[in-house]
Amino acid sequence: MEGDGKGLVLVVEDEQHIADLQSLYFRREGFSVRIESDGRNGLHAVRRLKPVVVVLDIGLPGMNGVDVCKALRDAGDWTPLLLVTARDDETDRVLGLELGADDYITKPFSPHELVARVKALLRRSRLTGAGAGIRNVGRTRIDVPARTVTADGIPVELTATEFNLLATLTDSPGTVRTRAQLLAHVWGHGDYNERVVDVYVAQLRAKLGAASPIRTHRGVGYSAVAER
């Protein structure tokens, strides 16, 4: 079958012409594609078909994209997920990121950019990174090849982007990274407002709790530092 070599992309989009265009470009890049036009069917399709990535519109009928994202993450499903939003959807976009979406793109967008974003997201989700191995930074343990994290000995579920951010910060403990550097390294582009980094850091701290090694350097950025 044409376009099934790189895995399945699930497109959840209620505007048929946009969904068809996405499908065309993903198939050209070697992916297979499944389209769903509403949130509830999209949620069932993720669970049934196990796609490599979900491209999820926020403004869906019935069950919106933010609710789909929340349902997946609450169920422990960390399939890489890219939100498609309108320009006036900033509140929902930030909420989606806080709930565990890995990236977003705003309408109108270039199909080439969308495909590039998805390919970059998949590359990041498979990263082992420099200094791959087991890292113990204070009370946080990061197994980079296995992409698993424990805090005070308790497993912590992270999204692909959350893991990549933590892996970047712990690659060189004590090194301060600016928000711009983190955007470029973790997201692969600097199209975001730097507040996105702050959102993800807050999510990591909430999940790691008192074991979090992340330190804020006001006016500069963040580092990971083992407790003394």
pLDDT in tens, 42-60: 999 999 999 999 999 999 9
Res 228: pLDDT = 47
Res 23: pLDDT = 96
Task: For residue 29, give both structure tokens.
Answer: 């890049």
Give one word for 2, left, alpha or beta, with left for phi > 0 and alpha for psi -120 to 50.
beta
Residues 139, 103 share a domain: no
- Distance of alpha carbon 171 from alpha carbon 221, whole angstroms: 15
Instruction: Assign residue 183 the CATH number of its domain.
Output: 1.10.10.10
Over residues 2-11, mean pLDDT: 76
- Distance of alpha carbon 149 from alpha carbon 166, whole angstroms: 9
Residues 73, 42 share a domain: yes
- For the question of whether the overall pTM of this predicted structure is more than 0.95, the answer is no
Can you give the residue range of the structural domain that contains 37?
8-125
Residues 167, 99 share a domain: no
- Looking at the structure of the chain, the number of domains it has is 2
Chain-wide mean pLDDT for the chain?
Answer: 87
Q: Is residue 3 part of a domain?
A: no
In 21-160 the beta strands, taken as DSSP E runs, fall at 32-36, 53-57, 81-85, 103-106, 134-137, 140-143, 148-151, 154-156
Give one word for 174, left, alpha or beta, with left for phi > 0 and alpha for psi -120 to 50.
left
Q: Is residue 1 part of a domain?
A: no
Q: Is residue 2 part of a domain?
A: no
Q: Is residue 54 part of a domain?
A: yes
User: Which percentage of the chain shows pLDDT scores above 70?
Assistant: 91
